[in-house]
Structure 1
Amino acid sequence: MKKYLGLLLSVVLLVGLVAGCGDNAKKQPVPGNEQVSKLVVGATAQPHAEILEQIVPVLAAEDIDLEIKVFTDYVQLNPALEEGTIDANFFQHVPYLENFNAENKSDLVWTVKVHTEPMGIYSKKITDIKDLADNAIIGIPNDATNGGRALAVLESAGIIKLKEGAGVTATDADIVENLKNVKITMMDAAMLPRTLEDAAICVINSNYALEGGLNPVKDSIFMEDKDSPFANVIAVKSEKENDELIAKLGAALQTEEMKKFIEDTYEGACVPAF
């Protein structure tokens, strides 16, 4: 009888041990666990990769392994997305994306706006845009995209009016109203902060403003708002627009914590666009 009881006890203990190991295996995920989904996002180093790094633990808590692939040449990011070597990218604003699609017959789409690297109006001669004098000299960037963007900023500030549909590649030929008869001078964007000694106002990208010792928040007299079409976005192939992982990526980027991170870290050089 004792022999049978001992055998029965051994069987019970063995079953319990196997069951316990099974529960433990469920609770302790191992590398390569199929429940963990990998998401590869291509980005330029600053500020895009830095921003993405903040949400790695957030997505990990949802069983998403976010891999950030840093590109030194931003021109390669959209082709990489098209080829499928990355699942999404984060480096461009909407007009750039639309222009890429038009030139390459692509159908990449954006899902969420994250931040804007604002363009602002700066001056060493006036503190209010309303005080701009007639015949004033205005400096703007001389490249097509930023030149058109600068004209749009001047239009938002009420200085000029552009013809309808001028778009992001607008030029001074698209100005249909110039009540103050301002003189617009185009030059290399990096030179604009130094031009403030001579020009009444200059329209400057935030990165060049910072390099010139200007604070976009404190020193600008007019700034693009967060609804600017130049907000930097997450872009994906059209078939992934409603993908669950992409949705979780977007949600993680658009939180109050991320808004505070962008505001505190970049101090106006980047502005949350959500």
Structure 2
Amino acid sequence: MQKRQLLKAFVAVPLLSALALSGCSKKETVVKVGATAGPHAEVVEAAAKEAAKDGLKVQVVEFSDYLGPDKALAEKSLDLNVYQHEPFLKNFNANQKTDLVSVGPAILMRMGIYSNKVKSPAELRNGALIGIPNDPTNGGRGLQLLEAAGLIKLREGAGFKATVADVVDNPKKLVLKELEAAQLPRSLDDLDAAAITMNYVMSAGLDPSKQGIFLEGKDAPLAVMVIAARPDNKDSEAVKKFVKAYHSEAVKKFIADKYKGTIVPAW
């Protein structure tokens, strides 16, 4: 009897140890999501709260530039990023020989012309200094916005790849100054106006209703931001869970309450 009990004890010890090790080795599912500081990161944080309810831990990594999140995603330092429109994503892929993909729409963010000196494009003086983003896609977008406002005319067919060399008519002889997108809000006092994307408008505390003198239409194609992933993880369960959380009613309500219609869901 004693031998049998002793044998049971020896069997039980490794069994309990195995169970303990099994419990300790169970890994929590974690995804790293890159976003530019401001509304993109804020909405991802709201989505992270929803994702947690589904057993997914989201680590938000903030960036202050437009290239960092895509580089980090391509290098597998991130699992996803949320901060760009699809033309920008395609341009990055073409230039960097990467194949990042969109896995769903994010938010609608309109670019606008902002000024601390005038109330409308018509008030801009001859020779006014106008800032535009210096990255390829948003630079062209800014030029198209200036054209839509009646300030310049671009070469036919230039599209969103337009550069300052594509300006064929500039009645007011505007001086176009290319700057880092994040620097444009801080440079408004030195400029007469600037074409600024909405994420930097909001992170800088600009007021579209007061400083925005001309805004993109709500159906502007480059205003639709996307959630980006890599081909190797785009169909993973974790990515699907994050997209589901991002597209939740709770996140939609957060956007409505936080941004009062300035930013709206794109889904």
Whether TM exceeds 0.5 here: the answer is: yes
Per the alignment, residue 128 of structure 2 pairs with 137
Within 2, Cα distance between the matches of 1:126 and 1:223?
15
- 8 Å CA contact 1:117–1:231 kept in 2: the answer is yes
Secondary structure at the residue paired with 1:221?
strand
Q: Is the 8 A contact 1:42 1:70 kept in 2?
A: yes
- Residue 225 of structure 2 is aligned to residue 232 of structure 1: yes
CA distance in 2, matches of 1:32, 1:217: 53
**Count of residue pairs brought into register by the alignment:** 237
Q: Following TM superposition, by how much is the alpha carbon of 1:213 offset from its aligned partner in structure 2, in angstroms?
A: 6.2
Aligned to 1:194: 189
Q: Does 1:249 align with 2:256?
A: no
Unaligned runs of 5+ in 1: 1-29
1:101-158 residue CA offsets vs partner (Å, 9 max, x unmatched): 11221111112232355431234666454x4579463512362444333212112334
Contact 1:217 1:268 in 2 (8 A): no
For residue 41 of structure 1, give the secondary structure of its aligned residue in structure 2.
Answer: strand
- Counterpart-to-counterpart distance in 2, 1:39 and 1:192: 38
Contact (CA 8 Å) 1:192, 1:204: kept in 2 or not?
A: no
TM-score (structure 2 length as normaliser): 0.67
Mapped contact 2:164–2:176 kept (Cα < 8 A): no
- In structure 2, the partner of 1:26 is none
Q: What residue in structure 2 maps to residue 14 of structure 1?
A: none
2:52 is the alignment partner of 1:60: yes
Per-residue deviation, 1:222: 1.5
Q: Judging changes above 3 Å, is the alpha-carbon distance between structure 1 residues 128 and 70 closer, same or farther for their aligned structure 2 residues?
A: closer
Query: What fraction of aligned residue pairs are identical, expressed as a percent?
Result: 35
Counterpart secondary structure, 1:90 = strand
1:106-121 to structure 2, matched below 5 A, reads 106-121=98-113
The verdict on how the C-alpha distance between 1:202 and 1:253 changes in structure 2, with shifts beyond 3 A counting, is same
Alignment of 1:100 with 2:99, yes or no, is: no
Cα offset, 1:271, TM superposition = 4.9
Q: How does 1:9-48 map to 2 (within 5 A)?
A: 38-44=29-35, 46-47=37-38, 48=40
Distance change (3 Å), C-alpha of 1:85 and 1:150:
closer
Distance in 1, matches of 2:62 and 2:124, equals 45
The 8 Å contact of residues 116 and 232 in structure 1, kept in 2 or not, is answered as yes
Aligned to 1:91: 83
- Gaps (5+ residues) in structure 2? 1-22
TM-score calculated relative to the size of structure 1: 0.66
Residue 212 of structure 1, CA deviation: 7.1
SS in 2 for 1:107: coil
Are 2:133 and 2:142, in contact at CA under 8 Å, matched by a contact in 1? no
Residue 49 of structure 1 corresponds to 41
CA pair 247-156 structure 1, distance change in 2 beyond 3 A: farther
